[in-house]
Amino acid sequence: MRKRLISFIIVSLFLNCTFHFTFSQQKKDSFFLLEQNFGEKIDFESLEREIEKEKIYIKNSRYIDELLIFFAVAEENVNILKEEDKERALSKLDTRYMGEGRCDKIKDESKKLFCIALSSDCEVLSGWKKNFCKAWLNKDVNSLLRILSDSKVRKEIGGEMDKGDVLRDLAVYYGFKYYSPIACKAIFDGEEDYVCEKVGCQVMFSSEPEETIEKIIRDLAIFNLSRKKNKRELCRLIKNVEIREKCFDPSIKKLEDFW
Tell me, yes or no, whether 154 and 198 share the same domain: yes
Asked whether residue 200 falls in the same domain as residue 213, the answer is no
Residues 157 and 53 in one domain: no
The burial class, CB within 10 Å (0-12 / 13-18 / 19+), for 250 is exposed
The b/e string for 128-138 (b: 16+ C-beta within 10 A; e otherwise) is ebebbbbbbee
> Are both 177 and 227 inside the same structural domain?
no
Cβ(145)–Cβ(166) below 8 Å: yes
The model's confidence at residue 25, banded by pLDDT at 50, 70 and 90, is low
Residue 81 within any structural domain of the chain = no
End-to-end CA distance of the chain: 26
Confidence at residue 114, expressed as pLDDT on a 0 to 100 scale: 96
Whether residue 249 sits in one domain with residue 154: no
Looking at the predicted structure, is the pLDDT value of residue 117 above 50?
yes
Tens of pLDDT along 196-244?
999 999 999 999 999 999 999 999 999 999 999 999 999 999 999 999 9
Please write the tens of the pLDDT for every residue from 182-205.
999 999 999 989 999 999 999 999
Residues 167 and 195 in one domain: yes
Last residue of a domain, one of 182, 204, 226: 204
Residue 24 has pLDDT above 90, yes or no: no
What is the reported pLDDT for 26? Answer: 52
Same domain, 54 and 149: no
Together in a domain, 183 and 244: no
Single residue among 187, 204, 221 that ends a domain in this structure: 204
Q: Is the pLDDT of residue 16 over 90?
A: no
Q: Are residues 132 and 166 in the same domain?
A: yes
Query: Given a cut of 70, is residue 38 above it in pLDDT?
Result: no
Residues 171 and 223 in one domain: no
CA distance 130 to 134: 6
**pLDDT level of residue 9 (50, 70, 90 thresholds):** low
Query: Do residues 229 and 198 share a domain?
Result: no
DSSP state of 40: S
Q: How many domains does the chain have?
A: 2
Between 21 and 223, where is the model more confident?
A: 223
CA distances from 170 to 27, 55, 80, 186 (A): 37, 31, 24, 10
Do residues 197 and 121 share a domain?
yes
Distance (Å, whole) CA 120 – CA 231: 54
Residue numbers of the domain that contains 148: 88-204
Q: For residues 171, 104, 71 and 191, what is the CA-based torsion angle, rounded to 10 degrees?
A: 10
Q: Which of 8-12, 19-23, 250-254 has the highest mean pLDDT?
A: 250-254
Look at residue 5 in the predicted model and tell me its pLDDT. 55
